[in-house]
Amino acid sequence: MARETAYSCSECGLQSAQWHGQCPGCNAWNTLIEERLPAAGARSQGRGRRRVGGEGAAAHGGARNGRARRPALAARPLREVGAAPLQRMSTGIGELDRVLGGGLVPGSLVLLGGSPGIGKSTLTNMALGHLQEAGHRTLYVSGEESAEQVRLRAERLGQGALKVPILAETDLDTVLDTIAAEGPAACVIDSVQTLNSGELSGAPGSVGQVREVAGQIMELAKSRGTAVILVGHVTKEGALAGPRVLEHLVDCVLQFEGERERPYRELRALKNRFGSTNEAGLFEMRQGGLVEVLDASARFVAEATRAPGSVVLAAMEGSRPLLVEVQALVAPSELEQPRRVVSGLDRNRLALVLAILGRHGRIGTGGSDVFVNVVGGVRVDEPGCDLAVALAVASASRGVALNGTPRACFGELGLTGELRWVGHPERRLEEAAKHGCAEVIAPVDSGAGACEAATLRDALTLALPTGSRRLTQAVA
């Protein structure tokens, strides 16, 4: 007798005949969920009805082992394959277009993830509004909100957003039929976890439902040439929810992140088949929606406090240089295990920098609480932030501001205390000079105009005032 249920992993999508405490595929704990399997042939018949031209599997003629038999295709060398130029659609939002690689590609699937209230619906409403005004047919499918609720949000986004047709529906077949009938050039589904297929018995958002929904939407989008943006949920850790097969299925994965209490939002590309994953876009949430931040460096440098513990970091966000302020606070701890609190940086990276600073900079923080924050809610993931964190902690620990007003820095710290070269130093120096940072502490061979330092000790000598340098040398 055939089994009627199976256990599916909510992280990687692995199916197992029996339950396991730890998934054999991704080693995640307590992620196997029991689901009812579809009836025999139900899924294949459903997909056959969605094929281009409406022909089922029997139209191909002949079958072997119950599957349609297709003629074999001849392989050919890549040099004989013609590369047709991509025809992109501009969303009217420069930062979004840049992260996508130049705009939406017809027939592509884009997965947009972010925490609740971060602005995903606002961003997609604005993009569809601009496309509608540009003469493209659009469609907004809402599975979480009613049409009236979406209208209230669209009223503050301009007249273009109010012209976008909307469908408030969670049934997959109805959504697919509407997309086929309307024939939009761009479609937003908010969110993919709310749609459900009648062929499966699982609840909306389960592993089987998400896989089936995304698969059928992909088939229709590829056949019709419709660019589809799937809005996805995120877990408590900030990762995209649902099985990983969804990320492998789509063409582009975008992460929209930021702090709800802060006005700044950052858009990153985690995967992009039609562009680079090194791009990032910066937005500011205002009353009228999201506004592109074209010169964020000027705003962050102007807000820098220049107080002890404040350092300007010349970072790289994709291919664009960005000046941000890194602040640190070092205070005596009343706990046996001092706290290490960080915002906008990797916590493990902070622990590494503190260890290097104590061993090679002779500035110990073992009995103190250390707080490090990247001002503005921006997140920096590159290793070039090591020197800025070290100088900010050293400045806060000594209670003195850095030499020079203002002064920027960048560089990666090695475990032996050396200051290592990082990418695009000339662009970092140019951005710092553009905003009045005449002195930039950087690794050796960074280029003209940099105050080069070979080690962390050299960087501390350049950055800290004379009295603090003597104190550091005395401790060493």
What pLDDT, in 10s, does the model give residues 390-415?
A: 999 999 999 999 876 567 999 999 99
Asked if residue 226 lies in contact with residue 188, where contact means CB atoms within 8 angstroms, the answer is no
User: What is the predicted pLDDT for the residue at 476?
Assistant: 37
Helix (H) or strand (E) holding 162: helix 159-162
Q: Provide the pLDDT confidence category of residue 56 given band limits of 50, 70 and 90.
A: very low
Point out which residues pair with 1 in neighbouring strands: none
pLDDT in tens, 416-457: 999 999 999 999 999 999 988 878 999 999 988 889 999 999
Give the residue among 193, 204, 280 at the shortest CA–CA distance from 240: 193
Q: Distance between CA atoms of 473 and 407, rounded to whole angstroms?
A: 22
H or E stretch at 35? strand 32-36
Q: Comparing 46 with 265, which gets the higher pLDDT?
A: 265
CA angle 116, 250, 139 (to 5 degrees): 65
Helices of type H across 322-422: 347-360, 386-398
Average the pLDDT over 63-81 and give the result.
Answer: 73
pLDDT in tens, 87-99: 899 999 999 999 9
Mean of the pLDDT values across residues 303-322? 88
Phi, psi of 280 (to 5 degrees): -145, 140
At residue 385, the pLDDT reads 95
pLDDT over threshold 80, residue 10: no
The model carries a pTM of 0.76
Tell me the pLDDT of the chain averaged across its residues: 85
Whether residue 340 contacts residue 370, with contact meaning beta carbons closer than 8 Å, is answered with yes
Model pLDDT, residue 1: 47
Give residue 178's pLDDT: 96
Q: What would the pLDDT profile of 218-267 be if each residue is shown by its tens digit?
A: 999 999 999 999 998 776 665 666 656 688 889 999 999 887 777 888 89
More confident: 42 or 379: 379
Provide the percentage of residues in the chain whose pLDDT is more than 70. 87
Q: What confidence score (pLDDT) does residue 235 get? A: 66
- Average pLDDT score over residue span 367-384: 90
| Residue 289, pLDDT score | 86
Query: Which of the two residues, 278 and 173, has the higher pLDDT score?
Result: 173
Residues 6+ apart with CB under 8 A from 286: 263
Task: Answer with the residue of higher pLDDT: 48 or 34.
Answer: 34
Paired residues of 266 in beta bridges: 257, 282
pLDDT score recorded for residue 13: 74
Q: What pLDDT does residue 390 have?
A: 96
